[in-house]
Structure 1
Amino acid sequence: MSKDIRINKGLNINLVGAAEQTTSKAILSNVYAINLEDFHGITPKMLVKQGAEVKAGEPLFYSKDNSEMLFVSPVSGELVEILRGARRKILTLKILADKTQEVLETSPVSADADAVEIRQAILKSGCWPFIKQRPYDCIADPNATPKAIFISAYVTAPLAAEISYSLVGKEKEIQSALTALSKLTPGKVHVSVGKGVPSMFDKMKDIEMHKVSGPHPAGLVGTQINKIDPINKGETVWTVTPQDLVIIGEFLLTGIFNADRTLALVGSSVKKPKYYVAKIGSEIATFLYASGVKEEKIRVINGDVLTGKRSKPDGHLGFYNNTVSIIPEGDDYEFFGWNKPVFDKISITRALTFSWLQPNKKYDLTTNTNGEHRAFVVTGMYEKVFPLDIYPMQLLKACMVKDLDEMEQLGLYEVIPEDFSLTEFVCISKQPHQQIIREGLDLLQKEIG
């Protein structure tokens, strides 16, 4: 039995450059990288030294706060470089891949395994970092028991990889992961899919289905949590993405950590946007230049255009990403751009803009913010695109002034930075909403825990 969720507030950003539903295998990278920035709040303790030979799936480091939480290599090869920053903080690990890959094999996990066995197996496999928790948007605490687990299989982010295509044929692995996760919570495993669209999750067991409809951010798991079972102070929920379910499920079935991802290379600057199979940490250039780029000045984004991180063509695929977006770099200025009708940009206002007349039009946007950072202006626009039962403006200001009581009362426990990606997009004050929320969460976790 499924439950319907209808989201009315939001905004679909239709962009040029969606991926064609064809898949190629990316050229194998010479060097793979693990970026520690992907694991927010984790202090690594190295298990291997620079120059050591490792196998695919072999632990590289563990979390200082929990020695059982292991992080493994996506490939076999030599750990050739450990990049460090201020105070010798580890930033990136680089692995020179072997031509012939060796894989660390362990025993599969029985379908009858209990919660303790499953928890220990996932921790040792290196798959635990795929499980995130709210509040605080960090890797889940293995010692905590979540009240529920949420998975969003409804995609509404601009140009994001289509789950129905990218995960086809992976039903067995996904079901294995869902069954295992259902034993780690006394609550339910909630899976949200698009209403009226056939889904691979329709016939799966050990889950509660929800049919979601509406504009972005209806596909964000935070929006769904808010409508299904909101988080209160003292409660914890876990979230997992469908593409990560595949890696977890494959390990449970085979005992092998397989870092392959089917990712979408998208954007108006790509000549042939399509899907590629590549490993976590692959060099973006190995599949970017196979599709070709249209111009010299491009912005490479690890993720979708709203929540992804800026990268370089010679950068590496992020640990959690299954989308790489390439759009033109907006480093030019329009003469009197503020004082003439606008037909080629998206706006939720009707002042000299006409995108509201063509809701299905696809746009070729650049990274230009069309304005500079300025003080907050109360316009009511955030509330038009923010579907959560939270006051977005007030919460942002509470985070900026570091008012812990206000942060708690206004619902900071419920949100993570991506929930404010759309309000940041429509913000006429050009405020960095996601950064503000991230800093607020870090402060709340440090002071209250």
Structure 2
Amino acid sequence: MSKDIQIHKGSNLNLEGEANKILVDLPAPKTFALNPDDFFNLTPKLVVKEGESVKKGAPLFFSKENPRIIFSSPVAGEVTSIVRGAKRKILQVLITSNESNEVVSHEVSNFESLDSDAVKEILLKSGSWPFIKQRPYNTIAQPEDSPKSIFISTYATAPLDVDYDFLLKNNKDDFQRGIQVLKKLTTGDVNLSIDSSFKGFFEKIEDVNLIGVSGAHPAGNVGVQIHKTDPINYGERVWVVNPEDVVNIGILFSTGEFSAQRTLAVVGSSVEKPQYYKATIGACLKPYLEASNLDDKEEFRVINGDVLSGSKTSADGYAGFYNNLISVIPEGNHYRMFGWLPFVDNHVPSISKTSLSWLFGSKKATVTTNLNGEERALVVTGEMEKVFPMDIFPMQLIKACLVEDIERMEALGIYEVVPEDFGLIDYASTSKIEAQDIIKKGIELMIKEVG
């Protein structure tokens, strides 16, 4: 194990609705969807039409920038709808599953003897390559690149996030096989970050550089871990894979079939039975939400991901491609009179001392989507620096992104950050600015102008 990382800056939001350690296997829903917006900076090109039958693992669309990168159907069935938005932008490809269970097969025998190029070719043809993302920018990795290292983070610190040791306890062999496959893709280390206080079965995984991590959120963000152990310089690439996608890669090289396994945790204060569910990538969320007994006494919001960095969806929505967490919290569509008073709504966790919530200690809190104010002047308060553990000046980087000063953005560390690293800043900052959106637009500018 390499030297452990201990993060001193940050904050944990102690919220109601953490998932119980119960794994439920419901009948699979009939409809599934792939959303191109789940893949940052992707321009999709369709290879299917409405009404066309597809096998599991068959291509649905590919990347216009790199046609080798394809996106496969998670189930066998029929393409029932292609949802488009403004300028005919593809928003969703909907598939209705059938009972055929037809699947595209790939030759993977004796994968231990395959070289890097052969492994890449199997990942590309099967549609498993999108499981691998790259830093900088958090885009899908380019197969022509050679990363200096690969990172997998099993230390989850986002509000109500999943327990990967519980989530993957039945896939230990597949996880190990996935690690062996990824090891062939880099001459550097495959880094596996784990909870330094509870290592679980990950401590016994071979062919990895184990990194023990402790500290408050965003210590679990892989960008923070990369910054502390293997910082990215201009021109370098680091690849990132989610833990369950390591399992999916392992299953591919065991069975020869594209694996779309996705375990979902339905959490939040609006959920009466927060728990885990066996599911599939792109699955319709409705049966899992119904099984969790949502509180129907008030309006709620369904979020693909955690409450800080997730994306809004609906009770009839679909699971995101990389998503293990479905958060459900009350809508904040009410006006709070005299909300600025420090003794009003003290149950809402606050990172500053202006609220009296800190007096309530470890009591779990209920939060809503209410912003409690509008956007204000961006002034120097030191709030951002208190919750941002990287050796980067977050406010100065945000300002550089706002004025599109590329040289300044480079100097201030734009290559090392992604929007989710600023999720806690969005919550803590009294300016109410959308820091994650600003950083996202800054990264889009860097891709366009610098590449």
1:35-434 to 2 correspondences below 5 Å = 35-109=35-109, 110-295=111-296, 296-342=298-344, 343-351=346-354, 353-434=355-436
**CA deviation after TM superposition for structure 1 residue 370, in Å:** 1.0
Question: Given residue 7 of structure 1, which amino acid in structure 2 is its aligned partner?
Answer: I
Cα distance in 1 for residues equivalent to 2:357 and 2:5: 27
The residue type equivalent to 1:403 in the other structure is: D
Change (3 A) 1:29 1:183: same
Distance (whole Å) between structure 2 residues aligned to residue 349 and residue 418 of structure 1: 21
State the 1:188 CA deviation: 0.7
Structure 2 counterpart of 1:52, which letter?
E
Residue aligned with 2:200, SS? coil
**Other-structure match for 1:445:** 447
Separation in structure 2 between the aligned mates of residue 46 and residue 18 of structure 1, nearest angstrom: 39
Deviation at 1:99, TM superposition (A): 3.2
Q: CA deviation at 1:103?
A: 2.0
Q: SS at the partner of 2:121?
A: helix
User: Does the residue aligned with 2:112 lie in a helix, a strand or coil?
Assistant: coil
Q: Which amino acid in 1 is paired with 2:166?
A: Y
Query: Deviation string for 1:204-236 (max 9, x for gaps)?
Result: 121101111111111110110010011111111
* Distance in 1 between residues matched to 2:319 and 2:126, nearest whole Å: 20
User: Secondary structure in 1 aligned to 2:68?
Assistant: strand
Q: Equivalent residue of 1:156, what SS?
A: coil
Whole-Å separation in 2 of the counterparts to 1:31 and 1:201: 34
User: For 1:239 and 1:313, how far apart are their aligned partners in 2?
Assistant: 30
How far residue 359 of structure 1 moved from its aligned partner, in angstroms, is 4.0
| 8 Å Cα contact 2:80/2:95 also seen in 1 | yes
Out of 194-203 and 99-108, give the one that drifted further: 99-108
- Structure 2-normalised TM-score? 0.97
Contact 1:9 1:386 in 2 (8 A): yes
1:258 CA displacement: 2.2
In 2, Cα distance between equivalents of 1:349 and 1:171: 42
Q: Deviations over 1:220-261 (max 9, x none)?
A: 101100100111111111111101111111001111112121
Q: What is the alpha-carbon distance in structure 2 between the residues aligned to residue 65 and residue 348 of structure 1?
A: 42
8 Å CA contact 2:302–2:313 kept in 1: the answer is yes
Shift of 1:177: 1.2
Amino acid at match of 2:10: G
Report the Cα distance in structure 2 between the residues aligned to 1:59 and 1:433, rounded to whole angstroms.
35
- What letter matches 2:3 in structure 1? K
Letter of the 1:123 counterpart: L
* Residues 359 and 112 of structure 1: CA distance in aligned 2, closer, same or farther (over 3 Å): farther
Aligned residues between the structures: 448
Q: What do you get for the CA RMSD once the two structures are aligned?
A: 1.2
Alpha-carbon distance in structure 2 between the residues aligned to 1:189 and 1:340:
48
* More displaced stretch, 357-366 vs 226-235: 357-366
- Separation in structure 2 between the aligned mates of residue 302 and residue 26 of structure 1, nearest angstrom: 19
The SS at the match of 2:81 is strand
Secondary structure in structure 2 of the residue aligned to 1:174:
helix
Query: Structure 2, unaligned stretches of length 5 or more?
Result: none
Once residues 3 and 170 of structure 2 are traced to their aligned partners in structure 1, the CA distance between those partners, rounded to angstroms, is: 26
Q: Distance in 2 between matches of 1:3 and 1:359?
A: 32
Amino acid at match of 2:148: K
Which residue identity is paired with 1:125?
S
Letter in 2 for 1:45: K
Structure 1 residue runs of 5 or longer lacking an equivalent are none
Distance 2:342 2:243 in 1: 44
Amino acid at match of 2:123: I
Task: Give the 4+ runs in structure 1 shifted more than 6 A.
Answer: none
- Name the amino acid aligned to 2:305: G
Q: CA deviation at 1:298?
A: 0.4
Residue 213 of structure 1 aligns to a residue in which SS? strand
Instruction: Kindly provide the amino acid, as one letter, of the partner of residue 387 in structure 1.
Output: P
| Aligned 8 A contact 2:303 2:328 in 1 | yes
Separation (CA, whole Å) in 2 of partners of 1:356 and 1:428: 17
Is 1:377–1:428's contact at 8 Å kept on the other side of the alignment? Answer: no
Give SS of 1:67's match.
Answer: coil
Q: Specify the code of the residue in structure 1 equivalent to 2:347.
A: D
Larger deviation, residues 99-108 vs 226-235: 99-108
The letter for the 2-side match of 1:350 is K
Deviates further, 271-280 or 22-31 = 22-31
